[in-house]
Amino acid sequence: MELLRTVTSLRALSDQTRAAGRRLALVPTMGALHDGHLALVAAARRRADVVIVSIFVNPTQFGPTEDLASYPRTLDADLAKCRDAGVDAVFAPAASELYPDGAQTTVEVRELAKPLCGASRPHFFAGVATVVTKLLAAARPHLAIFGEKDYQQLQVVRRLARDLLLDVEIVGAPIVREADGLAMSSRNVYLDAPLRGEALALVRALDAAEAAVASGERSAAALLETVRKEIGRAPHADLDYAELRDPETLGVVERVDAPAVLALAVRFPAPRAASGTVRLIDNRVLSPQSPKIGGPR
């Protein structure tokens, strides 16, 4: 497995791969790798001949009070996991490699970035869109894999790839969960045992909404009230948002008469985090059952 530090070396590997007629996949990460990331690697492995993982804690997607300084950085352990997972190369650049002196260009996906996480973190998606564009331009992969836990991010990346005419397939990979159902996240390490238990309120809220839809509830207002009540049972949970949105446009959904994504963001106090809180996100696509036509046969 190669460790690449420069865009020049990354492009050289990409050129060699393409010249040999082989398919290249990129898995962008910020490191602190867990089984969720390794599932992205496995998805890439199934679809490509050569897999590159990027490890870069992108400074432009963090706000001034967020956890850039304390974000977990575990490069040696990450490299070992990548090696064991059959990764061909890891791209781990310094910030100056992707943001050279005087850099002043950003990429903005305007409408998709406004709701949900964009409402409370207005800087976030410009940072994500910019760094992803840089990584795709540098690596020139045939496909790039992103986790569906960051559902809005996935839609933003798909949109920018279409809008900028990038010759790359953007693939979404399913959420990977802990044994108790909590979505895997590098920020889970900030939670102590009691708060870790409270964080399961996100999963219970998603389950409750899904059960309500299965029982015939279609009103978004009623479903979101169910979600808020479930989150409210966790004493330290501070609900950032709970919203039902169109899976592609992220427009507001009033009734779940077609598949709709239920997206959640909840903050918990976390003394280990620089900001003193940790923000967890999760989502589920709620799909109403098609009504049965006719009686029993």
Q: So which residues are the catalytic ones?
A: 37
What does the alpha-carbon distance between residue 63 and residue 55 come to, in Å, rounded to a whole number? 20
Kindly state the tokens that stand for 263.
Answer: 């997206």
3-state secondary structure 174-240: CCCECCCCCECCHHHHHCCHHHHHHCCHHHHHHHHHHHHHHCCCCEHHHHHHHHHHHHHCCCCCEEE
Q: In what order do the strands lie in the sheet with 24-29?
A: 2-4, 89-91, 50-55, 24-29, 143-147, 169-173
End-to-end CA distance of the chain: 60
- Are 48 and 41 in contact by the 8 Å Cβ rule? The answer is no
- Beta strand 89-91 pairing with 143-147: unpaired
